[in-house]
Structure 1
Amino acid sequence: MIENVNAEQIEQTATRRTLRFEIILVLALSLGQSAVFSLLSFADKVTRAPLRDQTTSLNNPLSTREFFDFTYQLLDIVFALVPVVLALYLMKRTTGRTIRDIGFDIRRPGKDTMLGAGLFLAMGVGTLGVYAAGRALGVTTALSAANLGDYWWSVPVLLLSAVRHAVLEEVLMLGFLFTYAKKLKLGLWSIMIGSAVLRGSYHLYQGVGPMIGNMLMGIVFGWVYQKYGRVMPLVIAHFLLDAIGFVGYALIGPAIGIGQ
């Protein structure tokens, strides 16, 4: 009997170690790595000049030659999604949960789209407000959201980039991390706040405003995921936020004097 108890304890300890290792592995290859570089970038910026006088550029060219820039952009998007595949594979192998279990599928397109669109509207207004407040307080850099050349493929690549960010962040921050945290028997609020803090940290390179805004969004998204158990509405909401930000900036920015 004592041997069985010890065997169970050893197995549980080994499982917890496996869960922690896989969390660290996935995050180190993706958003955890981004958080480290974001913190370093923020430290560099605040010691260089006031944040209000600096600009953070997103979606930048990767080559001065059109064909190679296009190719690099596509490869960058594809390889950025590899950690998602790894996370889903490990999650299925270690916990038994699949993409269907976390709601990363198209079984409910109507409901998912309606909920995602509603979240997009609510988060969009909030995001603009936090960004404006951050700029007014001088703790947020100006954002240049789309800096690709004037090519036929620029808008499609910006949309694919929005897909990349939406899938990467929501699948990992919600589906993967919540699944593993629950297996580790962490409390709901610990999971939600931890995920939100990590989400905010890898946006800190843009300034304090985007960090706070994304932390708040992380809490809201975490609550919605916990309530409905589906990642897809959050992926849709995130995609819409980025798509409107990226493409809107690329198409409207030049007309109002803030574009490329």
Structure 2
Amino acid sequence: MTTTAPDDATPASPSGSTPGATSAALDATRTDRSDDPPPYAALTGERAVRRRLTTEIWIVLGLSLGRSGLYAVVAIIDRLTAGPPLGDQTATLNPSRSPRPWLDLTYQLLQLGLALVPVALALYLLSANGRSAVRRIGLDVTRPWRDLGVGAGLAALIGIPGLGLYAVGRALGITVEVQASALDAAWWTIPVLLLAAIQNALLEEVVAVGYLMERLRDLRWRAPAIVVTSALLRGSYHLYQGWGPFFGNVVMGLVFAEYYRRRRRVMPLVVAHTIMDLVVFVGYALVPAEWRDALHLS
């Protein structure tokens, strides 16, 4: 004979527990999952995370400024062993890439665009935890006038002594003659030099300061070691210009890295770097040749 359960009877769950107990267990499971650490931290230990971050740093630098630094080291060895003294040699910062203007412009724009790929990679990697990398390193435009003012002040603080150091280096014969631009006169020359200044500023300040210092901080390096490492990296990829620019850029790197360590804001550094490069790229050509000769700038 079949017996039907009363209307108020509670059916048993497949495991033999009541629905209330099952619901409580599920709620507890959900709570536990919400408190779980990120997958990479759960599956790997601190040593593995540090190893992964170290490898990431080498990859980013190998695709950008670290690669330039290695080439610069080889270049200075080449210059020192080539025969003529450094003072008789020349380095060109913005060379022409084709005698045909439209092809030259195409090459210039391609180079500028592709040079920013490591910047995009660095920002992407810094945002892996879901936090905005732009806000993390202070690359946003939330303080435009303050960033402009600080950037202009840093440009004057670093740029004016830097020109003096370059002149001293030329007089001592330890710095090559730097030709700021070898582009032919065209309607796009000044815009391209402006873009080149912005590209240099973004690449160097985002990678050598923002990204590198954040990652070394993640690796729990001490602040002095982080600042010095960033500065030495900046000096390394300017070594092809001679010893004067190397030491000058190390000093600039120390100032910029210390500013970032204190303020955690890279935008004023981008502004300062852009201003200094614009003065060199565009303003250099406006200085009369006899003045440049008298100041040992050429």
TM category (shorter chain) comes to: over 0.9
AA of the residue aligned to 1:153: W
AA of the residue aligned to 1:215: V
Match of 2:5 in 1: none
Match of 1:103 in 2: 138
Structure richer in helix, relative to its length = 1
Q: 2:214 aligns with which of 173, 179, 183?
A: 179
TM-score when normalising by structure 2? 0.81
- State the secondary structure of the residue aligned to 2:212: helix
Measure, in 1, the Cα distance between the counterparts of 2:120 and 2:288: 35
Match of 1:23 in 2: 57
1:88-129 CA-to-partner distances (Å, cap 9, x unmatched) read: 101111684521111001000011000000001111111112
Q: 1:12 aligns with which of 38, 46, 53?
A: 46
Structure number with the bigger relative contact order (C-alpha 8 A, sep ≥ 6) is 1
Measure, in 1, the Cα distance between the counterparts of 2:255 and 2:218: 22
Q: 1:211 aligns with which of 231, 241, 246?
A: 246
Is 2:159 aligned against 1:124? yes
Match of 1:244 in 2: 279
Measure, in 2, the Cα distance between the counterparts of 1:252 and 1:232: 29
Q: 1:37 aligns with which of 61, 64, 71?
A: 71
Alignment RMSD (CA, Å)? 2.0
Aligned length: 254
Match of 2:33 in 1: none
AA of the residue aligned to 2:247: I
How far off its partner does 1:249 sit? 2.1
- State the secondary structure of the residue aligned to 1:104: coil
1:212-260 CA-to-partner distances (Å, cap 9, x unmatched) read: 000000000011111111000000000000011001123446696889x
Q: 2:229 aligns with which of 189, 194, 201?
A: 194
How far off its partner does 1:135 sit? 1.2
Deviation beyond 4 Å, 4+ runs, structure 1 = 7-10, 94-97, 253-259
Measure, in 2, the Cα distance between the counterparts of 1:126 and 1:166: 19
Measure, in 1, the Cα distance between the counterparts of 2:151 and 2:59: 29
Q: Which runs of 5+ in 2 are unaligned?
A: 1-40
- Would the alpha carbon gap of residues 107 and 255 (structure 1) be closer, same or farther in structure 2, given more than 3 Å must change? farther
- Would the alpha carbon gap of residues 111 and 81 (structure 1) be closer, same or farther in structure 2, given more than 3 Å must change? same
AA of the residue aligned to 2:246: M
- State the secondary structure of the residue aligned to 1:56: strand
AA of the residue aligned to 1:131: Y
TM-score when normalising by structure 1? 0.93
Match of 2:204 in 1: 169
Is 2:67 aligned against 1:51? no
Identity over aligned pairs, percent: 47
Q: Which runs of 5+ in 1 are unaligned?
A: 1-6
- State the secondary structure of the residue aligned to 2:221: coil
Q: 1:60 aligns with which of 95, 119, 136?
A: 95
Match of 1:4 in 2: none
Give the greater-gyration-radius structure (CA).
2
- Answer yes or no: is the 8 Å Cα contact 1:147–1:250 preserved in 2: no
